[in-house]
């Protein structure tokens, strides 16, 4: 009987190594030579923020590879040992031997199909990694505003997925055709566990813990313990005391070595009823413990998949609000082009620090343009300042006379004094 | 019977030996090892080139979810993404207040949608209804829409209709826009071959784009809304502002609790000029931003310092000092406060 050489993952290896060398080359070549250097460095800096964008599909791919490898290993070694059993057995009849071997052949055929499919999936996933690298590389001066638009949509989809607004995420991704650039598929894994936890069931979440046992152990995660504690509490709530104790013996005791205090606290709920007034234990029975579990799950999930712990939207919002926040934003005549003229934005910006600048930047009250060396500021006799451009235009239309738009003071263009501000 | 038994037993032994030779498990192992090297190198490369933790500068404050969701829903509606916005409001359940935005902007997108199929009626109606306010804002939008309609009629080849249209609608604009109207009248001569005439550029679709932009701009203006979505403006500012903050945090290792309570960012963040909405004066001597208590003062040489710097350098007005930029003698009592 001939055994065909197994389809191995070397196809993927080649793809991965070339992908890796492109990573280091991506940033310098991302922008064409025609872009001014300050814009170039600003763009390079903003590209460096995209770690999550590349890491998530990679972690997903790695997981698939490892799982496929484990399946292959298990099946193959099982078949080999079965063959050995049949060969070594002295009592086996010819017919039984043939039967046994035939079943092994069909097992191997099943494995081959599975491996082929697994290889296809792996290829798709590594193509996705590649596509994202290409996307980062594709930005240049011409398509910059569109590329930024796509980035903005990616940030919104990330927010939707984390908040479990899956339909909106999908609609948004489809409408801008960015399905490849966002993690809809990865979050499907989270959906099951999150929905179940919201329904006060720990099953899928526990299954997820089992799937990722080794990695959770490496990061010393106690999430599984927390799930078990909650199940225990539910048994106590239902007054199933005997089952609760058995449950604790089986599932909670192993965690006693590392988390004794917590274990003891929860075990003590046996002594109290679920409607206890004692605050220390009352809080354990509250439904918001389940919300806490949902948040915990999400944090563990994000960590495992290479995502930031906070939504990208929040991170950029905080930075943006702070960078824009000046005391003048809160005045009544703040221009409506400033986001911080809006009530909602002001509320969000309240606890955030003000922006800081090291160089003066002056904006003409009339034209809203910058007053710099090409359009210097000029000072009226009453101390009010406007841009040369605006004042010249006003003087030309009014026989050399200037009227201050804020105070009504009238003077001559010749009465103005130039201010030199660096 | 016995010989056949021996046969198949030796076949089986042969099989077992062959399997051991081929050693599929070792093959699998070997392939996986090769792959593992790449699987370890790639994330390391990623972490070196990219910033692995961009939440280092994040303050641990709870963003009020209803507020954020309202902002997002308003954004969807003002950008015309009504379907996405509706789906979001259903899923988020705490952004109902943004529905007001939907009713406001539906009108705009109906007009824009119509214009996509070259139908100017809704836009004309709106411009006529808001004609006074548009003129107040110095916008010639109404004339521009008439302009497009005029060219459209002319393209169909009916010169008389175009002339009638011009007579009805252009008169009120004659005062300020005579030159443009004259140009349009010139088109009448070429009614059936505009694309060959000197006025061929009027057929370009970019004219429609310009009017679309102006329509959007004026629509937002009259509603008291900004032209740019405030959410996309803030995020764009955040993308520019985050790298210097992160750089600072790598230096500020171990002082995270200080960062959580600062009143002002510890490092300057220079944004592009489209984000500069307010004048900020920074005294060149102290590098501090001016405030109401410490306003910018103009010296007789034309240079500007903040009040505290002038007081310090003149010892509270008791002596003259030299301007740090030019060696002019400055008398602090002659300095004037500036208002930007």
Q: What is the pLDDT of residues A177-236, one digit of tens each?
A: 999 999 999 999 899 999 999 999 999 999 999 999 989 999 999 999 999 999 998 998
Model pTM above 0.90:
no
Chain center to CA of A29: 26
**Residue A98 pLDDT:** 85
Q: How many residues does chain B have?
A: 340
Kindly list the residues from chain A whose CB atom is less than 8 angstroms away from the CB atom of residue B248: none
User: Is the distance from CB of A154 to CB of A181 less than 8 angstroms?
Assistant: yes
- Which residues in chain A are closer than 8 Å to B32, comparing Cβ atoms? 9, 69
Nearest Cβ partner of A8 from B31, B57, B287?
Answer: B31
Q: How far is CA B273 from CA A342, A363, B279, in A?
A: 20, 10, 11
Name the token pair of A337.
Answer: 């082009």
H-run or E-run covering B336: strand B336-337
Q: By the 8 A CB rule, do A202 and A258 touch?
A: no
Residue of B nearest to A347 (CA): B67
Name the residue among A8, A324, A339 with its Cβ closest to that of B27: A8
37-56 in chain B: CB under 8 A from chain A = 38-39, 41-43, 45-55
| Record: contact A73-B25, CB cut-off 8 A | yes
CB neighbours (10 Å) of residue B310?
22
Residues of chain B numbered 6-35 and touching chain A (CB < 8 Å): 8-9, 12-13, 15-16, 18-19, 22, 24-25, 27-28, 31-32, 34-35
Contacts of B298 in chain A (CB under 8 A): 379, 383, 417, 419
Q: What is the pLDDT of residue B325?
A: 85
Count of beta carbons in the 10 Å neighbourhood of residue A171? 21
Low-confidence ranges of chain A (pLDDT < 50): 1-17, 19, 30-34
Per-residue pLDDT tens for B264-279? 998 899 898 889 999 9
Is B200 part of the contact surface with chain A (CB cutoff 8 Å)?
A: no
Chain B partners within 8 Å of A6 (Cβ): 24, 27-28
Rounded Cα distance between B332 and B339, Å, is 18
The nearest CA of chain B is from the CA of A78 a distance in Å of 11
Report the distance separating Cα A327 and Cα B31, nearest Å. Answer: 62
Residue A142: the pLDDT is 86
- Burial category of A141 from C-beta neighbours within 10 Å (exposed 0-12, middle 13-18, buried 19 and up): middle
Q: How far apart are CA A203 and CA A206, in angstroms?
A: 5
How many other CB atoms are there within 10 angstroms of residue B14's CB atom? 12
Q: How far is CA B50 from the centre of its chain?
A: 24
Fold of B282-337: Herpes Virus-1 (3.30.40)
Interface of B with A in 93-152 (CB under 8 A): none
Helix (H) or strand (E) holding A112: helix A94-137
User: What is the interface pTM, i.e. ipTM, of the complex?
Assistant: 0.89
Q: Smallest CA–CA separation between A285 and chain B, in Å? A: 24
Set of chain B residues whose Cβ sits within 8 Å of the Cβ of A163: 65, 92
Nearest to B70 among A168, A319, A344 (CB): A344
Chain A residues whose CB is inside 8 A of the B268 CB are 356-359
CATH of domain A360-421: 3.30.40.10
- Contacts with B72 from chain A: Cβ below 8 Å: 156, 159
Dig out the tokens for B25 from the structure: 């498990």
Q: Which residues contact A387 (CB under 8 A, 6 or more apart)?
A: A364, A366, A367, A369, A371, A375, A376, A377, A378
Cα B263 to Cα A353, B139, B253, B310, B337: the distances in Å are 5, 42, 19, 26, 27
Tokens of residue B97, six digits: 């207040």
> How far apart are the CA of A231 and the nearest CA of chain B, in angstroms?
29
Task: Sort strands A410-412 and B296-298 into parallel, antiparallel or unpaired.
Answer: unpaired
Q: Do B336 and A338 touch (CB under 8 A)?
A: no
Token duo for residue B22: 């081929």
User: What are the residue boundaries of the structural domains of chain A, listed by start?
Assistant: 51-86+94-138, 187-309, 314-350, 360-421
Q: Which residues of A246-272 are buried (b: 16+ CB within 10 A; e: fewer)?
A: ebbeebbeebeeebeebbeebbebeeb
Q: Report the alpha-carbon distance of residue B310 to residue B297 in Å, rounded.
A: 8
Contacts of A65 in chain B (CB under 8 A): 35, 39
* Long-range CB pairs of B191-199, under 8 A, 24+ apart, other chains included: B191/B154, B191/B157, B191/B158, B191/B159, B191/B162, B192/B157, B194/B151, B194/B154, B194/B155
Give bridge partners of residue B339 from the DSSP assignment.
A384
CA dihedral A88, A93, A97, A99 (to 10 degrees): -150
Question: What is residue A22's predicted lDDT score, i.e. its pLDDT?
Answer: 57
DSSP helix/strand/coil, A191: helix
B66 touches chain A (CB under 8 A): no
Regions of chain B short of the pLDDT cut 50:
1
Given an 8 Å threshold on Cβ–Cβ distance, is B264 in contact with A354? yes
Domain ranges of chain B: 66-223, 282-337
**pLDDT value of position B273:** 85
Give the chain A residue whose CA is nearest to the CA of B298.
A419
Residue pairs between chains A and B whose CB atoms are closer than 8 Å: 334
């Amino acid at each position: 009987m001939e055994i065909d050489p197994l389809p191995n993952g070397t196809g993927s290896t080649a793809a991965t190594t070339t992908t890796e060398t492109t990573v280091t080359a991506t940033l310098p070549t991302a922008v064409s030579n025609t872009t001014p250097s300050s814009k170039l460095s600003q763009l390079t800096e903003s590209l460096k923020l995209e770690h999550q964008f590349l890491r998530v599909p990679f972690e997903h791919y790695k997981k698939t590879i490892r799982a496929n490898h484990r399946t292959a290993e298990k099946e193959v070694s099982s078949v080999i040992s079965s063959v050995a059993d049949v060969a070594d057995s002295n009592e086996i009849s010819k017919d039984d031997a043939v039967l046994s071997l035939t079943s092994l052949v069909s097992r191997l055929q099943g494995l081959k199909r599975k491996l082929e499919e697994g290889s296809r999936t792996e290829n798709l996933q590594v193509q996705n990694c590649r596509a994202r690298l290409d996307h980062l590389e594709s930005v240049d001066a011409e398509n910059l505003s569109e590329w930024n638009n796509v980035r903005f949509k990616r940030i919104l989809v990330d927010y939707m997925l984390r908040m479990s607004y899956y339909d909106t995420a999908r609609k948004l991704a489809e409408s801008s055709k960015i399905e490849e650039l966002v993690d809809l598929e990865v979050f499907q894994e989270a959906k099951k566990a999150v929905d179940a936890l919201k329904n006060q069931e720990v099953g899928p979440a526990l299954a997820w813990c089992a799937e990722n046992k080794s990695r959770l152990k490496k990061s010393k995660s106690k999430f599984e313990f927390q799930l078990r504690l909650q199940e225990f509490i539910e048994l106590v709530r239902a007054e199933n005391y005997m089952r609760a104790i058995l449950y604790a013996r089986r599932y909670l005791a192993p965690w006693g070595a590392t988390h004794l205090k917590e274990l003891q606290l929860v075990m003590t709920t046996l002594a109290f009823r679920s409607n206890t007034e004692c605050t220390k234990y009352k809080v354990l029975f509250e439904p918001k413990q389940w919300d806490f579990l949902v948040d915990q799950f999400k944090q563990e999930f994000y960590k495992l998949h290479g995502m930031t712990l906070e939504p990208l939207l929040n991170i950029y919002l905080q930075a943006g609000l702070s960078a824009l926040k000046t005391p003048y934003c809160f005045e009544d005549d703040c221009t409506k082009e400033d986001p911080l003229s809006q009530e909602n934005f002001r509320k969000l910006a309240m606890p955030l620090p003000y922006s800081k600048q090291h160089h003066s930047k002056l904006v003409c009250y009339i034209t809203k343009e910058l007053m710099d060396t090409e359009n210097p500021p000029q000072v009226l006799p009453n101390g009010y300042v406007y841009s040369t451009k605006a004042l010249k235009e006003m003087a030309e239309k009014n026989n050399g006379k200037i009227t201050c738009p804020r105070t009504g003071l009238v003077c001559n263009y010749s009465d103005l004094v130039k201010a030199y501000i660096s | 019977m016995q010989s056949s038994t021996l046969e198949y037993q030796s076949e089986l032994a042969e099989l077992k030996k062959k399997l051991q030779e081929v050693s599929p498990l070792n093959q699998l192992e070997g392939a996986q090892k090769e792959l593992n090297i790449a699987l370890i190198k790639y994330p390391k490369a990623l972490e070196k080139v990219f910033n692995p933790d961009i939440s280092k500068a994040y303050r641990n404050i709870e963003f009020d979810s209803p507020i954020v969701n309202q902002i997002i829903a308003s954004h969807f509606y003002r950008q015309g993404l009504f379907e996405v916005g509706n789906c979001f409001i259903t899923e988020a359940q705490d952004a109902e207040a943004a529905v007001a935005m939907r009713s406001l902007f539906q009108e705009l997108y109906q007009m824009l949608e119509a214009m996509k199929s070259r139908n100017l009626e809704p836009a004309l109606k709106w411009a006529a209804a808001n004609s006074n306010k548009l003129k107040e804002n110095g916008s010639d939008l109404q004339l521009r829409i008439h302009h497009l309609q005029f060219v459209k009629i002319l393209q169909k080849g009916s010169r008389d209709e175009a002339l009638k249209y011009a007579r009805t609608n252009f008169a009120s604009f004659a005062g300020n826009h005579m030159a443009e109207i004259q140009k349009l009248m010139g088109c009448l001569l070429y009614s059936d071959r505009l694309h060959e005439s000197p006025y061929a550029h009027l057929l370009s679709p970019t004219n429609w784009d310009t009017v679309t932009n102006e329509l959007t701009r004026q629509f937002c203006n009259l509603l008291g809304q900004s032209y740019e979505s405030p959410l996309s403006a803030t995020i764009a500012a955040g993308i520019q502002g985050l790298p210097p903050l992160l750089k600072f945090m790598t230096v500020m290792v171990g002082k995270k609790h200080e960062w959580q309570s600062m009143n002002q960012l510890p490092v300057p963040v220079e944004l592009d000029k489209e984000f500069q909405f307010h004048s900020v004066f920074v005294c060149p001597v102290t590098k501090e931003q001016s405030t109401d208590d410490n306003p910018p003062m103009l010296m007789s040489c034309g240079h500007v310092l903040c009040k505290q710097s002038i007081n310090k350098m003149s010892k509270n007005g008791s002596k003259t000092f030299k301007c740090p930029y030019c060696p002019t003698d400055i008398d602090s009592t002659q300095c004037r406060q500036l208002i930007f």
